Amino acid sequence: MTHIFLYGPPATGKTTIGEILSRNLKLPFIDLDRVIESKAGTSIPQIMEGQGESAFRDLESAALKEITLTPNPPLRGASRSPTGRWESIVALGGGVLLRDENRHLAESNGKVLLLTAELDTLLARLNKDSNKRPLLAGDLKSKLKSLLDNRREHYDSFTLKLDVGNQTAEQTAHRAQIMLGRHHLSAMGEYDVRVGQIGNLRSIAYGNIIVTDENVAKHHLDKINIEKSIIIPAGEEHKNLETVSRLWKAFLENGLDRKSAIVALGGGVIGDLAGFAASTYMRGIDWIAVPTTLLAMVDASIGGKTGFDLPEGKNLIGSFHPPKLVLADPSLLRTLSDRDLRSGMAEVVKHGIIADPELFALCSNGMDWVKDNLEEIVKRAMAVKINIIEEDPYEKGIRAALNLGHTVGHAVELVSGFKLSHGESVAIGMVAEAAYAVRVGVAGRGSDEAIESTLSNLGLPTRIPAELPREEIIRAMKVDKKKSAKAIRFALPVDLGKVELVDVTNLDEVL
């Protein structure tokens, strides 16, 4: 994928939303109508009047061809996609894709997002709009209605559609980014987070060596066109200093220098380890995250935290070192075990509880629905994390909301000797913390039950196994890095879509 084409009836806001997307994604913005006018040296109403609609359509086709077939960016500041092709946001005229050749050009050079709205919404907007629209001249309402009727089948045939009614342009742009799986982060380093096919990556040109684990290598190593790779054993028990040293040595042996980059192909363990090794090797080199677990796609690969475990606790050593690119390809999840997919769903549910009640409701559909809709799950859940870390990259405040379920969860995971996975432990932690929130009156009755039933419906554990000693869990919570001097700060669910940070002194009460 390269360009993003915004298409749809007049007054759906293609230009306004295109400009916002251009700012948010740091991509150049092209308004096809303005390109035509500048080439023709006259306005579109004048072209229509003087040369007729068919001549105007020819000019549209020529302009679209120029944008899509130009190998090098015609604009300063235009960025390149990981495939090495230049990309932009293009606002299209409302009928340009009626021609098959134009539609083919657009669809084979990017994604077309159709903006839609009800007739009344469009009418209200057009009545306020001073732009001249030759195809709507005369009785606006009947002209617009017949234009929409004539193009209904055509507009309906696009798969990516976004209703712009009752939304500000900013909100629509945000929803468009979720739908397209496209984000640009800038609060801690500048990098893109993209949902897209890894198959589109002919090569990650600036990646020099892949770090992956034995399971991922078996299924996906051949999908990235980089010869050198370091394959380490899979599992949390290898997220330690010994593996980090092994990576540093392998980087040296492979001649990596300060201009080299690491491609971390794997789950959260690989991302944390490879990211940390990259952050410290020669005082820091670039890395690219290609997450392969659900947990890594929606959580671990985004936000720049890297690190490893000590015997005393998880993630006790680490650094902030964001990748240069995150590329999440949901099709890689097809080879993931059922247990790991469920574990990832714990973080998805967490993101729903924190800020997206609709996502939480989707999670209640259960595992079969989830498996059929992984791309939507990934796109929505990653957007929650991105919003939070862009607001608070270094966890001075709201980012701590992402610790929901983790204070109890990390401790349970450690005390279980990692027999419980990260996601399973977080599920247990969320239920314990939600129940505590209700008990102390921070949350209203019922939210804890909704959380527990959604998680157990997804096949996740919700109770601390009886054989795990409570005292050990409490001790482990105290070592947790989120400990402050007198109390431990918990992120407690107040309602679905809302979390509050609360200092807790009596940890017994939480369990």
Residue type, 422: H
The tokens for 317 are: 């050593």
Cα dist from 371 to 250, 281, 331, 378, whole Å: 37, 38, 11, 11
Min dist CB 2 to ligand NAD, Å, is 26
Sign of CA dihedral 403, 409, 411, 414: negative
Q: CA 379 to CA 375: how far, in whole Å?
A: 6
Angle, CA 240 vertex, CA 480 and CA 190 arms, to 5°: 80
Q: Which of 185, 264, 270, 412 binds ligand NAD (CB under 6 A)?
A: 270
By the 10 Å C-beta count (0-12 exposed, 13-18 middle, 19+ buried), 246 is classed as middle
Using the rule CB under 6 A, is 314 a contact of ligand NAD?
yes
Q: Does 322 bind ligand NAD (CB under 6 A)?
A: no
The binder of ligand NAD chosen from 105, 144, 274, 300 (CB under 6 A):
300
Q: Which of residues 470-499 bind ligand NAD (CB under 6 A)?
A: none
Question: Minimum Å distance from CB 12 to ligand NAD?
Answer: 37
Task: Tell me which residue of 501, 341, 343, 355 sits closest to 433, measured CA to CA.
Answer: 501
Give catalytic residue positions: 283, 305, 347, 385, 395, 399, 403, 406, 410, 422
DSSP 499-510: EEEEEES-HHHH
Q: How far apart are CA 440 and CA 508, in angstroms?
A: 13
The contact mask relative to ligand NAD for 184-223 (x = CB under 6 A, - = no) is: -----------------------------x-xx--x----
Q: Shortest gap between Cβ of 294 and ligand NAD (angstroms)?
A: 8
Q: Which residue, 28 or 291, is less far from ligand NAD as judged by CB? A: 291
86 DSSP β-pair partners: 80
| Closer CB to ligand NAD, 259 or 339, in the complex | 339
91: contact with ligand NAD by CB under 6 A: no
Closer residue to ligand NAD (CB): 87 or 299: 299
Tokens of 427: 């599920």
Q: Which amino acid is at 374?
A: L
Position 239 contacts ligand NAD (CB under 6 A): yes
User: Is residue 336 a contact residue for ligand NAD (CB under 6 A)?
Assistant: yes
Binding mask 372-411 for ligand NAD (x = CB under 6 A): ----------------------------------------
Q: Enumerate the H helices of 181-267 as residue ranges.
A: 214-220, 241-253
Judged by CB under 6 A, which of 236, 356, 424, 448 binds ligand NAD? 236
Q: Which stretch binds ligand NAD (CB under 6 A): 58-66, 297-305, 430-438, 456-464?
A: 297-305
User: With contact defined as beta carbons under 8 Å apart, do 346 and 455 qualify?
Assistant: yes
Task: Classify residue 307 as left (phi > 0), alpha (psi -120 to 50) or beta.
Answer: left
Number of residues that bind ligand NAD (CB under 6 A): 31
The residues that touch ligand NAD, with contacts defined as CB under 6 A, are 213, 215-216, 219, 234-236, 239, 266-270, 272, 292-293, 295-296, 299-300, 303, 305, 314-315, 332-333, 335-336, 340, 343, 422
